[in-house]
Amino acid sequence: MEKTVDDLKVIIFGASGMVGAGVLNECLKDPQVSAVLSVGRKPCGMTHPRLKELVVPDLFNLELFQEKLKGYNTCLFTLGASAAGLNEAAYTKINHDLPVQIAELLLKLNPDLGICYVSGMSTDSTEKGPVMWARVKGRTENDLLKMPFRVAVMIRLAGLQPLKGFKSSTTLYRVFYSLFGPLLPLMVLLFPTWVTTPERLGRAMIRAARGQSPKSLLEAKDIHELGSAAG
């Protein structure tokens, strides 16, 4: 990436979720992140002198809050919905239409914006594969990469160890982590390029937003390397 930005002013979407909570926590620990605005449908549950919140019941109407969205140079987009129980149209609305609409609005308000978008391992860049969610996420990635961001990096996350004390509001995730959660620290040690920590993910996204990522698509191995403590 050509332009490196040291002082990040971050808008984060999805900070009340498992991925977003970890990323937000790392942003608040980083002294080079001077301001954070959490935008979501419910409060993120954290407080900090550098943190502001904007609770918006309908994120498709975000243009009503334009003045509060100005003055930022980074968007960390961790918001999304599981494909469980959703048809392609409903899944597309949440996981393609919403992030693309928000990205267009933020770019209009902040022309020097960089973005990191969390998709998932096995996302389909061709948009033609048999797996619905992978096609939709691939389309989202492709559309975001076409936009004139300062930097745009797609985060293809695999497994994640939750932030300590975090409990997901999604029933499927709660069941999974209640069963397998005790094994995740071991999996992080044994398979660090497949299961990562919220700290490493947060560092990787912050560094990517600064312009320190050599790639625009980060797979699990790339996330591990970019988010290493010595990076």
Contact 124, 134 (CB under 8 A): yes
Query: Cα separation of 49 and 7, whole Å?
Result: 16
Q: What does the alpha-carbon distance between residue 209 and residue 65 come to, in Å, rounded to a whole number?
A: 23
Tell me what pLDDT residue 131 has: 97
Residue 123 CA to residue 156 CA, distance in Å, equals 7
In a domain, 1, yes or no: no
What is the model's pLDDT at position 65? 98
Domain containing 178 — which CATH number?
A: 3.40.50.720
Tally of domains within the chain: 1
pLDDT at 83 over 70: yes
Helix (H) or strand (E) holding 139: helix 132-145
Phi-psi category of residue 68: left, alpha or beta, with phi > 0 → left and psi -120 to 50 → alpha: alpha
Residue 2 lies in a domain: no
Residue 130 located in a structural domain:
yes
For 60, the domain range is 8-226
Least confident of 52-56, 149-153, 166-170: 166-170
CA 220 to chain centre: 14
Please report whether residue 156 resides in a domain: yes
DSSP 8-state code for residue 163? P
Q: What is the per-residue pLDDT across 70-79, written as a single tens digit (0 to 9) for each?
A: 999 999 999 9
Whether the pTM exceeds 0.75: the reply is: yes
What is the per-residue pLDDT across 112-133, written as a single tens digit (0 to 9) for each?
A: 999 999 999 999 999 999 999 9
pLDDT tier, 1 (very low <50, low <70, confident <90, very high otherwise): very low
Given a cut of 50, whether residue 134 has pLDDT beyond it is yes
Q: Does residue 70 lie in a domain region?
A: yes
pLDDT for the residue 47: 96
Residue 220 located in a structural domain? yes
Asked, for residue 27, whether it belongs to a domain, the answer is: yes
- State residue 6's pLDDT score: 87
In a domain, 165, yes or no: yes
